[in-house]
Amino acid sequence: MARLPFVDTHVHFHDLAHPHLRYSWLEPDAPVDPVVGPDGAIRAQRYWADDFLAETRFHDVVGVVHVQAALGTVDPVEETRWLQAFADRLGAPHGIVAAVDLTADDVAAQLDRHAAFANLRGVRDLRYDGYLSDERWERGYAQLAGRGLVCCDDPDLDEFPLARALADRHPDVVLCIDHAGFPKARDDAYFRRWREGMALLAGASNVVVKISGLGQADHRWTVDSIRPWVLACVDAFGVERSFFGTNWPVDRLFSSYGDVVDAYAEIVSDFTDAEQRALFAGTAQRIFRLEVS
């Protein structure tokens, strides 16, 4: 069992009964994701911060970063408001990565409204429409620099060069590559391409990697099957720009919470104590400016 204090940098809460929030990916007629597969087992009426804290209470989770989960909501600031209420009542989430349309004409106003909530730490604009070549999206991205906000993103493998170029043009914005670059295949040829792409991204000092969600394309994963992906991330970015997350509760489709945390601990068990602590908590605390106990 993992014993290190853990900052979980990728969790999702939802409430299908919330009057102002919509979760289109959890609705009954939502299409099945071709990588993740059927997800009916996690389509509960709600998954609140209370539920996450109860589920993970034996795993020394000292910090939590919530990444945008509501999709199709008219006003995404409502999700930030909802999450901040949990933080004020329970102390979690410690950081909020909010939904923002970076192509919008009023992106500055959106960011200002989100920033009214104390735990805002970053943004995510979840889209797959060639956004990395969109000048409007980049203008919105540039606005993150003066606000100290992290951009969490999972570009497709073929778009890694575009993401690297973006990072080079905006050295004052931290670009966080979610889900270890979201590798969607597990064959040797794909691994080689992915590893080369991750090394390219790591060449920009303002790019960091979130090692999370590895079960999404490896539904019967084992410690050995995810080990190369975890170690390749750390090899490329170093412990000073790598950190762990779980993608909970989505990755509950493929294991228990403790299985994920313990797998990370086993994979890096040969690292120094300082390196392990950086991966489990320290680096995430610095990147997301978290105050944890």
pLDDT tens by residue, 227-281: 999 999 999 999 999 999 999 999 999 999 999 999 999 999 999 999 999 999 9
The reported pLDDT for the residue numbered 288 is: 98
Residue 126 belongs to a domain: yes
Residue 256 belongs to a domain: yes
The reported pLDDT for the residue numbered 228 is: 98
Considering its fold, how many domains does the chain have in total?
1
pLDDT band at 178 (very low <50, low <70, confident <90, very high): very high
The reported pLDDT for the residue numbered 29 is: 85
Residue 86 belongs to a domain: yes
Which structural domain, as residue segments, surrounds residue 29?
6-288
The reported pLDDT for the residue numbered 154 is: 94
Q: Give me the CATH number covering residue 146.
A: 3.20.20.140
Q: Which of these, 152, 142, 202, lies nearest to 172 by C-alpha position?
A: 142
pLDDT digit string, tens, across residues 186-238: 999 999 999 999 999 999 999 999 999 999 999 999 999 999 999 999 999 99
Residue 293 belongs to a domain: no
| Mean pLDDT confidence for 8-35 | 93
Residue 220 belongs to a domain: yes
pLDDT band at 2 (very low <50, low <70, confident <90, very high): low
Residue 44 belongs to a domain: yes
207-211 sheet: strands from edge to edge: 6-11, 61-67, 95-99, 120-124, 150-153, 175-177, 207-211, 242-244
Residue 275 belongs to a domain: yes
Q: Are 217 and 180 in contact (CB under 8 A)?
A: no
Residue 1 belongs to a domain: no
